[in-house]
A and B are shown apart, each in its own frame.
Chain A
Amino acid sequence: KAGVTQTPRYLIKTRGQQVTLSCSPISGHRSVSWYQQTPGQGLQFLFEYFSETQRNKGNFPGRFSGRQFSNSRSEMNVSTLELGDSALYLCASSPGLAGAYNEQFFGPGTRLTVL
């Protein structure tokens, strides 16, 4: 099976712009979760989608949004980018809800730099 894929791998944007990141889960996986990783804050949960429904959401402002399509692929959008949004954004998939019996499979991440 192919692993979790994320596109693009690297992105450079300027403040005020918006960005869309894409994640394709492992075939058959219904849950997709998104995380922001920074050196100071570790791994911060953004949101989880399961069968096109947002099941859980982290403590991020409304500028961060996401969605999941019927084929389980997911997108994450960040509007009005700020310098502090520079981070590695990780996507993870699992057959069922994240952490409910099943481990997650992570993609390689998208490195976002905001100038």
Chain B
Amino acid sequence: AQSVAQPEDQVNVAEGNPLTVKCTYSVSGNPYLFWYVQYPNRGLQFLLKYITGDNLVKGSYGFEAEFNKSQTSFHLKKPSALVSDSALYFCAVRDGNRDDKIIFGKGTRLHILP
């Protein structure tokens, strides 16, 4: 069965420092991977996705993520954090070889400290 894990419930980063939000996954086929962000009292917004191609994916608001097949990871990164990046981040995976549902992680709350 497919699964996705976000091992950290919360990540604290000082403004201006690089940030990483971790995500690992498990699927039997090819993974389709997504990152979404949720601001308070809002629905989720798409940040970026990996379907195929370059392992480094660039997305909205200066975020990027690296697909690592050997480590089954898809960590979200940003070189310099902004206070406005403070939000709840979700990783999601779907098995590209099966007609199955997309699975979301439990979310990681990112706090950027001024």
Q: Which of A90, A99, A105, A109 contacts B94 (CB 8 A)?
A: A99
Q: Would you call A41 and B106 a contact (CB within 8 A)?
A: yes
Q: Is the CB of B43 within 8 A of A90?
A: yes
**B63 contacts chain A at the CB level, 8 A cutoff:** no
B90 at the interface (CB under 8 A from A): yes
Asked if residues A103 and B94 are in contact (CB atoms below 8 Å), the reply is: no
- The segment from A42-50, A61-69, A75-83 found at the interface with B is A42-50
Q: For residues 29 through 68 of chain A, which have their beta carbon under 8 Å from a beta carbon of chain B?
A: 33, 35, 41-43, 45, 48, 55-58
Q: Count residues on chain B whose CB falls below 8 Å from chain A CBs.
A: 25
- Tell me if A26 is interfacial: C-beta within 8 Å of chain B: no
Within 8 A of A (CB), among B89-114: 90, 92-94, 96, 99-107
Instruction: Output the least CB separation between A30 and chain B (Å).
Output: 15
Q: A98-B94, A100-B32 are in contact. Are A92 and B103 (CB under 8 A)?
A: no
Query: Looking at chain A, what size class is its interface with the partner chain?
Result: 20 to 34
Is the C-beta of B22 less than 8 angstroms from some C-beta in chain A? Answer: no
| 8 Å CB interface, B9-42 against A | 32, 34, 36, 41-42
> Quick check: is A21 within 8 A (CB to CB) of the other chain?
no
Q: A97-B99, A106-B36 are in contact. List 17 more A-B contacts (CB 8 A).
A: A4-B43, A33-B102, A42-B104, A42-B105, A43-B104, A45-B101, A45-B103, A55-B101, A56-B100, A92-B43, A98-B102, A99-B34, A99-B93, A99-B102, A100-B96, A101-B32, A103-B34
Q: Which 4 A-B pairs have the closest CB atoms?
A: A99-B94, A99-B102, A42-B106, A106-B43
22 inter-chain pairs at a CB distance below 8 angstroms, sorted by A residue, are: A4-B43, A33-B102, A42-B104, A43-B90, A43-B104, A45-B103, A45-B104, A55-B99, A97-B99, A98-B101, A99-B32, A99-B34, A99-B93, A100-B32, A100-B96, A101-B32, A103-B49, A106-B36, A106-B45, A108-B42, A108-B43, A109-B43
